[in-house]
Chain A
Amino acid sequence: MCTTTPFLDQLCQIVTLGGHFRWSAVGTYLFNPYIVETIWLVIGLAILAQVFGTLIGLLLYFMRRTRFAASRWAANAYIWFFRGTPLLVQIYLVSYGINYIGLDPPLRAINFFPAIGYSQVQMYFFVAALLALSWNEGAYMAEIVRAGIDSIDPGQLEAARSLGMTYFVAMRRIVLPQAARTIVPPLGNEFNGMLKNTSLASVIGLTELLQTSINIGNALFLQLELFVVASFWYLMMTTVWTAIQAYIERKLNVSVTDFGPGQGSWTQRLLGFGRRGPVAVAGAGGINVPADRGAR
């Protein structure tokens, strides 16, 4: 079925796994609307989980920084648990947990996804996946947030407090915008992982990209072909994200060493901190400023 030219035939045997793998089916289902629509579901789930995970990471940071032992203990126990058990197990735990406490009927009653065209997607599964992914992510973000905030000179917080700012105002206005420069690169890597980890939600029946591929593959006896389709789309998402991440980091890299005109606003815009003033006028390089700082 391949070709009569001996060499090309051998090559063809290899890439079609001896004629069993149907590339034409891959082509047919690559842009299958049921497949394609799940891409947005995956991206939406990943973004939401990353946002909540980051907020949980921040919360855990503050819980670990209070003088209340119980709060520190709770935060450490949380991190210990979520970093010490498999995400897959956590997804099962949350999903069945919701079921056991009787929250699934009200969730099943929510018709949000069918209303926006995702007839197969159930709110119950989506919420379970979102919670498990965010909670798990929070444990990892806690470390990243801590590294970012701890990288800021304590003199910044002191100066802010000496001006009468309370701890939280000083954190929000002074420390976090600076820490964001350290936090954003690993945050980008986390999001890359998050895009792929959404596939674990298939085990509880969320019809995301992987589960949809499995369903179609099973129905048509084209399992392997549809796994290739799924791989292709995961690869597309992570590739595009890597490009976006590289762009963000290029922007940030300049400003990590140089809070100069324009760059100073980047993380502020990225994380929604504050308002940007007029573009700075570059003054003469100061004596305590290394010469290379001036280069942009």
Chain B
Amino acid sequence: MQGQGPGYPGGYGQPGPLSSGGQMAGGGPIQGGPMPGGSPPPASGPMPGGGPLHSGGPRPNDGSRVIPMVDARDVHKSFHHNEVLRGISMQIWRQEVVVLLGPSGSGKTTFLRCINHLEKINHGRIYVDGELIGYRELPNGELREDSEANIARKRAELGMVFQRFNLFPHLTALQNITEAPIRVRGVPRAQAEARARELLAKVGLADKADAYPNRLSGGQQQRVAIARALAMDPKLMLFDEPTSALDPELVGEVLKVMRQLAEEGMTMVVVTHEMGFAREVADRAIFIDGGVIVEQGRPTEMFANPREERTRAFLRKIL
């Protein structure tokens, strides 16, 4: 099978770009996972040829697409004796936009944090772009935590946007964006600044380059935070409730930036309760409750006809 990364241990042996059932049921461990019923494969979506949602984005039609951008296999995570993730398995495909839904405390944040190894996992594996994240596998199959430098290098390729923005308050908007490219990638300052200005323009904040975060509204701060993540040219963006700390009138400006990113073909995992965004932008919605995937499917279908009672109860509350 072409294009497999060296670190990626098979298991996706179906030839060629995914067969019709590939996205969710394609031979991966997800079948053994806790997903009852498994929703039917979406008619369109992130498969070559593209859904209508992605008409603008580039869609490579090559073998590399066979390796999921994120491949989580039976991920378990406990805090002390509190098991927060109880066997999450999912694949997220290149250029796919996946929305994670679920009640508060269901483990959505924890799962996102596991994807870039801000959180250690107790069991299972997470591959990002074919490479194990956070750990390396010993010849005997045991996992060892990877070196800090390796973890940092992999994290640098994943962007993360936080509910509370977490901008660096002692740095201007521009410096917030240039800090990591300069310190982590060694990009020359002038080049990093030029790129940062481009990104600020892209998120509609060209005039705020020299403003400190506390001079910016929540919506502006979150857009700077997105630009900061984009400055590392991530191959995947993780959003943890990016709009839930915002006043309602500021939500739109952030969603607009995210929508634009999706159209450009960014692979995105978004925890959000913005159902409009989920419906219009996401290829897939995954409903998590109690640390397991309860149901997943195309957002429009899932919101209209949830098959699980728990999903129905949740959607009733937020729709």
How far is it, in angstroms, between the C-alpha of A153 and the C-alpha of B212 when the chains are bound?
17
Is A76's CB within 8 Å of the partner chain B? no
Minimum CB–CB distance for A62 against chain B, Å = 14
For A236-274 the 0/1 string (1 means CB < 8 A from B) is 000000000000000000000011110010001000000
- A119: interface (CB < 8 Å): no
> Cβ of A158 and Cβ of B162 under 8 Å apart?
yes
Q: Is A282 at the interface (CB under 8 A from chain B)?
A: yes
B90 interface hit (Cβ, 8 Å): no
State the Cβ distance, B227 to closest chain A Cβ, in Å.
Answer: 12
User: Which of A39-47, A171-179, A214-222 lies at the binding interface?
Assistant: A171-179
Q: Does B309 contact A (CB under 8 A)?
A: no
Query: Contact mask A270-296 → B, CB, 8 Å, 1/0?
Result: 000000011111111111110001000
Tell me if A280 and B210 are in contact (CB < 8 A): yes
Per-residue 0/1 for B220-253: is the Cβ within 8 Å of any A Cβ (1 yes, 0 no)? 1100010011001000000000000001001000
Partner of A283, one of B170, B174, B185, B211: B211
Q: Do residues A258 and B214 form an inter-chain contact, with CB atoms below 8 A?
A: yes
Q: Is B215 an interface residue (CB 8 A)?
A: yes
> Would you list which residues of chain A between 148 and 168 have a CB under 8 Å from chain B?
153, 155-156, 158-167
Which residue of the partner chain, among B155, B183, B216, contacts A169 with CB atoms under 8 Å?
B183
Task: Say if the beta carbon of B156 comes within 8 Å of chain A.
Answer: yes
Residues of chain B contacted by A169 (CB below 8 angstroms): 183-184
Q: Of all chain A residues, which has the CB nearest B215?
A: A283
Give every chain A residue within 8 A of B162 (Cβ-Cβ).
155, 158-159
Q: Is the CB of A281 within 8 A of B210?
A: yes
Q: Is B206 an interface residue (CB 8 A)?
A: no
Cβ proximity bits B283-317 to A, threshold 8 Å, 1 near / 0 not: 00000000000000000000000000000000000
Q: Determine the residue in chain A with the shortest Cβ distance to B160.
A: A162
Contact of B164 with A by CB under 8 A? yes
Q: With the chains together, A243 CA to B172 CA distance in Å?
A: 31
Within the complex, what minimum Cβ distance (angstroms) separates A234 from chain B?
Answer: 36
Contact segment of B14-22, B39-47, B145-153, B266-274: B145-153
Asked if B169 and A259 sit within 8 Å, CB to CB, the answer is yes
Q: How far in angstroms is the closest Cβ of chain A from B208?
A: 6
Please give the distance in Å from A265's CB to the nearest CB on chain B: 9
Closest residue of chain A to B228 (Cβ to Cβ) is: A163
Closest chain-B Cβ to A189's Cβ sits at a distance in Å of 23
Is A260's CB under 8 angstroms from B212's CB? yes
Binary A-proximity of B165-196 (CB < 8 A = 1, otherwise 0): 01111111011000110011100000000000
Secondary structure call for the A interface: loop
- Chain A residues with CB below 8 A from B221, complex form: 286, 288
A286 contacts B179, C-beta separation under 8 Å: no
**Candidates A162, A259, A264; contact of B116 at CB < 8 Å:** A162
CB of B275 within 8 Å of the partner chain: no
Question: Which residues of A sit under 8 angstroms from B157, Cβ to Cβ?
Answer: 164
State the CA gap A260–B172 with chains docked (Å). 9
**B118 contacts partner chain A, Cβ-Cβ < 8 Å:** yes
Cα separation A140 to B2 with both chains bound (whole Å): 60
| Nearest-Cβ distance from residue B27 to partner chain A, whole angstroms | 32
Interface size on A, residues (CB 8 A): 38
Using CB atoms, name the residue of chain B closest to A163. Answer: B180
With A177-B170, A264-B170: A164-B212 Cβ-Cβ less than 8 Å: no
- Kindly state the separation between the CA atoms of A293 and B215 in the bound complex, as whole angstroms: 9
A residues near B148, Cβ cutoff 8 Å:
166-167
Shortest C-beta distance, B157 to chain A (Å), equals 8
> Considering only CB atoms, which chain B residue lies closest to A167 in the complex?
B148
Known: A164-B156, A277-B174. A287 touches B217 (CB 8 A): yes
**Which A residues lie within 8 Å of B232 (CB)?**
163-164
Among B148, B208, B212, B218, which residue has the most Cβ atoms of chain A within 10 A?
B212
Bound CA–CA A279/B211 (angstroms)? 9
Q: A158 to B158, alpha carbons, bound, how many Å? A: 13
Instruction: Tell me, in angstroms, the Cα distance from A26 to B316 when the chains sit together.
Output: 87
A266, closest chain B residue (CB): B170
Chain A residues near B210 (CB-CB < 8 A): 277-281
Q: B166–A163 contact, CB under 8 A?
A: no
Return B117 CB to nearest CB of chain A, in Å: 9
Question: CB within 8 A of A164: which of B164, B184, B247?
Answer: B184
Taken together as a complex, chains A and B put the C-alpha atoms of A260 and B160 apart, in Å, by 26
B216 x A162 contact (CB < 8 A): no
Q: Decide: A259 near B180, CB < 8 A? Known: A158-B166, A163-B228.
A: no
> Which B residues touch A153, using CB under 8 A?
166
Q: Once bound together, how far apart are the Cα atoms of A261 and B175, in whole Å? A: 13
A264-B149 Cα distance, complex, nearest whole Å: 30
Produce 1/0 per residue, A48-83, CB < 8 A to B.
000000000000000000000000000000000000
Q: Is the CB of B164 within 8 A of A155?
A: yes
Q: Are A280 and B170 in contact (CB under 8 A)?
A: no
Cβ distance B41 to chain A, nearest Cβ, rounded Å: 32
User: Which B residues lie within 8 Å of A281 (CB)?
Assistant: 210-211
A-B contacts, 17 of them at CB < 8 A, read A159-B167, A161-B118, A161-B155, A162-B158, A163-B232, A164-B153, A164-B180, A164-B185, A164-B232, A169-B183, A174-B168, A177-B170, A178-B170, A264-B172, A283-B211, A286-B215, A289-B215
Interfacial residues, chain B to chain A (CB-CB below 8 A): 116, 118, 148-149, 152-153, 155-160, 162, 164, 166-172, 174-175, 179-180, 183-185, 208, 210-218, 220-221, 225, 228-229, 232, 247, 250
